[in-house]
Structure 1
Amino acid sequence: MTFAEATSAFASYAWGPHMLFLLVGGGLFFLLYSGFAPFRYLKHAINILRGKYDEPNAEGQISHLGALSSAMAGTVGMGNIGGVALAMVAGGPGAIFWMWVSAIVGMATKFFTCTLAIMYRGHDDQGVVRGGPMYIITEGLGPKWKPLAVFFAVVGMMGNFPLFNTNQLVTIVKEWVILGPDNLGTGAASDHFWLQLGLGAIIMLVVGSVVLGGITRIAAVATRAVPTMILIYVGCAVYVIGSHLEQVPGYLAQIVTEAFSMKSVAGGILGTLLIGVKRAAFSNEAGIGTEVMAHGSAKTAQPVKEGLVAMLGPAIDTLIVCTATALIILISGVWQQGGVDGISLSSRAFDQTMPGVGPYLLLLCVVFFAITTIITQAFYGSQCFRFLCGSRYVPMYQTFFLLTILFAATTSLSNVVNLIDGAYALMAIPTMISAVLLAPKVKAAAKQYFAELKQQ
């Protein structure tokens, strides 16, 4: 069996129909179990984010805004741009509808998992407060559940290797800055290998300069870069959509109708549904467990507040940014031409809809999205490694993490996607199991918090 065949088999096995039950079914359970209560407090969540309810003396390392920005830095990236393109090529426009559904139930999932992130924080071997599914499991469910926590930490390190974002960043820089889109396929394969390796080395140096500063530096970079890049990216989408406004209702209708088509390119409704859920999980990470590690570092003594802030993530990430990407691709029509995938397809869509300047505006966003995501993944992976091996050896993990950037820069997109998809599926198992088992704790805390809020 070749490496490509092995990665494909790994992803296929991990992403069986059981993942629909786990992520969509679990999210629907949280939605109904909460009685939709968190959704009635979206305005309050925004006020928390604005700093109205900050607790500067509470335990933690970063603000609510810093926590959400760090989590968004890990989610708003290639999953929203290249990942949407992958979804449309593999599942057709209907996959976007199932991404929407996953985002809505994912908001409820994030409310529960990130409330638990504060409720059951732990401390590392140096006494520093930490959050994550591994601490939720050990602190909330007890020592007998530790093997499940160890399992998450092991697959969490793998799932947070910077493979997809590095691969796609190298691809767009190579195509639009160095070779030019008209010169793709020219030159020897070895020439491209060394070019990609060189680009990977540059990314490695940039990421390393931030990663070694820890979560506070990561949050500082993310807080400045992520909101600006989202505004630029959505601004491009608004321009494209506004220029083709009469076509938008038809494309939105196409997304909905093809979600239930038995003749979809994915082989029917189930295939389209699975692709949409898979790409949504990679995009907003609801139920995967990574977001829990970022929000677990927030300065707060009130778990429900952080759950409300975290709930905003899928709405911004999937309902807004991914939808913007999908409409640009649909309007351009390039997704039906074949021959390209991932970020290459998205860049061609921008070139069609914003000739000349489009791909370079996309490139600007991609550089910041990809770098901030890779930086955040380094933090997530370090959290998992620290739980397993202690703080002393974290620099060894960080060195290995940086070296995987070189591998990602020079391997194929299919290998990268299969490895990350498989790891994400495995990460969801302990995250969702622990969240469902501890859901009554979240519901009780939310009931008390919302009652006290009404009295203020």
Structure 2
Amino acid sequence: MILLIQGANPSIDEIINERFAKATGWFYDAIFAQIPITEDVGIPWVLIILILGASYFTTYFRFINFQHFLTAIKVVRGDYDNLEDSPVKVASNIHQSEGDAVDTIRVEGYEGEVSHFQALTAALSATVGLGNIAGVAIALSIGGAGATFWMIIIGLIGMASKFVECTLGVKYREIDESGTVFGGPMYYLKNGLNEKGFKKLGKLLAAVFAVMCIGGSFGGGNMFQINQAFKLFEYVTGAESSFIYGKGWLFGLIMAILVGVVIIGGIKKIAKVTDKIVPVMVVVYVLAVLTILVINYDQIPTAFQSILNGAFSPPSVAGGFIGVMIQGFKRAAFSNEAGIGSSSIAHSAVKTKYPASEGLVALLEPFIDTVVVCTMTALALIITGQITIGNEVSWEEGAILTSKALESGISWFPYLLSIAVILFAFSSMISWSYYGYQAWSFLFGRKKRTEYVYKSIFCLFVIVGAASSLTAVTDFSDAMIFAMLVPNMIGLFLLRKKVGTELKKYLDRIRLLK
């Protein structure tokens, strides 16, 4: 606005940023209203819900995140695929959308659209990303090395929440007459709570979740991803002297075209892309970080010692534990999304007739994302001395710090990181477009016209995100994604016994197989 008053000629990026920033503040303040812990420290109420929920599900399901970790790996490997060979049995009850013909049937044994591995990679493509790169640097700048310990703890307990929501996603999915799967929190809130006699509550919570999921797909799953990819690409190619400097809209336009080409094909096309991109991008990034760790192998024991010592020192418990909750866990929710409910949308398309099988697969996500990838990033930052405790860094600075950590080992690694970030962003956007469309179709119907309207808007937001300021994008993204947890966590708690029944059914079949 100051630019306009002074008579300057604002760029396209500045105009887009000014218009968008006006709409983000009030909603962010409401979602992240803090509950005071001490006189100087508070924690947002939404994070308390996530942490308490994850802790509750961990104990309720008898530490399933540890007890059945190997079982989950075996499911992904296909060790129990022969359990799916028995005849498919259609559920006795039929769910019908109001005003529609009977074209949506819940088939608990339906073949689905993608394999266990493809469902996992599609969900991971939306979870492994910028939170693992810049978000870790932010957490460490607040709480020091000890923050890594608390980040790992959060990742481990989040595995239980992921198991619950993805089991429900498969159990209450709907399939239209063409074989297309529609699933996620919208459906287990509506159909699951209806079974328990909470019909009106279920419909209300499902609608609220759908609205927030659409906003989250435009924000955290789109604008935030493209914004960070552009900023790092701009920095690596010369910052202010870069050929792309100040041309976020152009970078966004190119990415929007690429995203549009993929998302038109639906979950099968998305899965075919993600099951190739995700393993490659994770391996590339992990190998780059491993190279730094190998070069500095003699410092790894010291780094782990500083993590353990810092985790329980008074400054780190305040700055690390609560700091990670406020900063790092906001980023971790972008990463593993445990308790948010979004991943269950991708997992609901799996080919299985045992909902708990996919729930077990899903619990691997927070482990891969937070426990493995985030820890490796933290070690690289600690060993290379990139973090100054108490000097909180921004998202842009966080990505740059990680880039510098890699550059300390091999000079051209920042270019590799830039490519990885673009792939992270691209894969996250195509998966989140699927999440958003599922929510969109729940509210507005499943006709092709409504599908193309949503996907066109989604591609437009790619351009907006690349050209907007990081603060405006991050606030909008955080608020929308964390708002999803409220209806989702209510549903998970009320339907927990259904999940227990499905788990017992699947484990009993495995025992018979042995």
TM-score (norm 1): 0.91
Q: How many residues align?
A: 447
Counterparts of 1:218-257 in structure 2, within 5 Å, are: 218-257=270-309
Change (3 A) 1:362 1:187: closer
CA drift of 1:8 comes to 5.2
- Give the equivalent residue in structure 2 for 1:377: 432
Q: Is residue 83–residue 283 contact of structure 1 (8 Å, CA) maintained in 2?
A: no
Shift of 1:267: 5.3
Q: Tell whether the 8 Å contact from 2:138 to 2:328 is kept in structure 1 after alignment.
A: no
Q: 1:277 matched to which residue of 2? A: 329
**Structure ID, larger Rg:** 2
1:285-324 matches, cutoff 5 A? 285-324=337-376
> 1:86 deviation in Å?
2.9
1:28 corresponds, among 51, 55, 67, to 55
- 1:347 CA displacement: 1.5
Q: Residue 254 and residue 418 in structure 1: after superposition, are their counterparts in 2 closer, same or farther (change >3 A)? A: farther
Rounded to whole Å, the distance in 1 between the matches of 2:342 and 2:511 is 32
Partner of 1:128: 180
Q: What pairs up with 1:138-177 in 2 under 5 angstroms?
A: 138-142=190-194, 143-144=199-200, 145-161=202-218, 162-177=222-237
Q: Does residue 1:401 correspond to 2:458, yes or no?
A: yes
Per-residue CA shift, 1:202-246, capped at 9, x if unaligned? 111111110111100000001111112211211112211122122
8 Å CA contact 1:97–1:276 kept in 2: the answer is no
Question: Are 2:435 and 1:390 equivalent residues in the alignment?
Answer: no
* Distance of 2:115 and 2:155 partners within structure 1: 24
Q: Aligned residue for 1:209?
A: 261
CA contact (8 A) 2:132 2:369 kept: yes
Partner of 1:440: 497
Aligned position for 2:100: none
- 2:80 pairs with one of 53, 73, 85: 53
- Cα separation, partners in 2 of 1:107 and 1:37, compared to 1, 3 Å: closer
Paired residue type of 2:361: V
RMSD of the TM alignment (CA)? 2.5
Q: CA deviation at 1:424?
A: 1.6
| Alignment-derived partner of residue 105 in structure 1 | 157
Over 3 Å counting, the alpha-carbon distance change for 1:272 and 1:71 in structure 2 is closer
Which of the residues 473, 478, 487 maps onto 1:430? 487
Q: Secondary structure at the match of 1:19?
A: helix
Residues 226 and 465 of structure 2 are in contact (CA less than 8 Å); yes or no, is this contact kept in structure 1?
yes
How much has 1:272 moved relative to structure 2?
Answer: 3.8
Measured at CA, do residues 100 and 186 of structure 1 come closer, stay the same or move farther in structure 2, by a change above 3 Å? same
- TM-superposed CA distance for 1:407, in Å, is 1.1
Q: CA deviation at 1:269?
A: 4.5
Unaligned runs of at least 5 residues, structure 2: 2-17, 35-43, 89-109
Map of 1:421 onto structure 2: 478
Tell me how far apart the structure 2 counterparts of residues 51 and 316 of structure 1 sit (CA, whole Å): 19
Q: CA–CA distance in 2 between the matches of 1:333 and 1:425? A: 32
Give the conservation status (yes or no) of the 8 Å contact 2:252–2:466: yes
Distance 1:186 1:264 in 2: 39
What letter is aligned with 1:380? Y
Q: 1:86 to 1:415 in 2, by over 3 A?
A: farther
Give percent identity, aligned residues only: 40
Given that 1:259 and 1:273 are in contact with CA atoms closer than 8 Å, whether structure 2 keeps it comes out as: no
Output the amino acid matched with 2:28: A
**In the alignment, is residue 355 of structure 1 matched against residue 414 of structure 2?**
no
Question: For 1:231, what is the secondary structure of its paired residue?
Answer: helix
Structure number with higher helix proportion: 1
The verdict on how the C-alpha distance between 1:72 and 1:268 changes in structure 2, with shifts beyond 3 A counting, is closer
**Deviation digits for residues 170-218 of structure 1 (CA, Å, limit 9, x no counterpart):** 11221223xx2xxx34599xx833x221111111111111011110000
Report if aligned partners of 2:186, 2:207 keep a CA contact under 8 Å in 1: yes
The one-letter code sitting in structure 2 at the alignment partner of 1:22 is: I
Tell me which of the two structures has the higher relative contact order, counting C-alpha pairs closer than 8 angstroms and 6 or more residues apart. Answer: 1
Superposition deviation, residue 413 in structure 1: 1.6
1:261 positional shift: 4.6
Mean Cα deviation higher: 401-410 or 248-257: 248-257
Is the counterpart of residue 70 in structure 1 residue 70 in structure 2? no
Instruction: Please give the secondary structure, in 2, of the residue aligned with 1:391.
Output: coil
For residue 30 of structure 2, what is the aligned residue in structure 1?
13
What does the per-residue CA deviation read over 1:338-394, in whole Å, with 9 as the maximum and x for residues that have no partner?
Answer: 685232222222212x23121122123222221111111111111110111012211
2:147–2:316: 8 Å Cα contact kept in structure 1? Answer: no
Bigger CA drift: 426-435 or 116-125? Answer: 116-125
Give, in whole Å, the separation in 2 of the partners of 1:6 and 1:239. Answer: 43
Can you list the C-alpha shifts for 1:121-159, whole angstroms capped at 9, x where unaligned? 124697733110010101100131211100000010111
SS in 2 for 1:62: coil
**CA-CA distance at 1:427 after TM superposition:** 0.6
Task: Quote the Cα distance in structure 2 between the aligned partners of 1:257 and 1:13.
Answer: 36
Whole-Å separation in 1 of the counterparts to 2:69 and 2:48: 27
**Offset, 1:96:** 2.8
Structure 1 residues 38 and 250, CA gap change in structure 2 (3 angstroms): closer
Cα distance in 2 between the residues matched to 1:185 and 1:232: 28
8 Å contact 1:293–1:380 — kept in the other structure? yes
SS in 2 for 1:30: helix
Matched, 1:327 2:382: no
Q: How far apart in 1 are the matches of 2:469 and 2:442?
A: 31
CA distance in 2, matches of 1:250, 1:141: 51
Deviations 1:11-68 (CA, angstroms, capped at 9, x unpaired): 3432343223311111111111111245323222222212233348743111111100
- CA–CA distance in structure 2, aligned partners of residues 172 and 282 of structure 1: 18
Shift of 1:90: 4.4
Match of 2:24, SS state, is helix
CA contact (8 A) 2:168 2:188 kept: yes
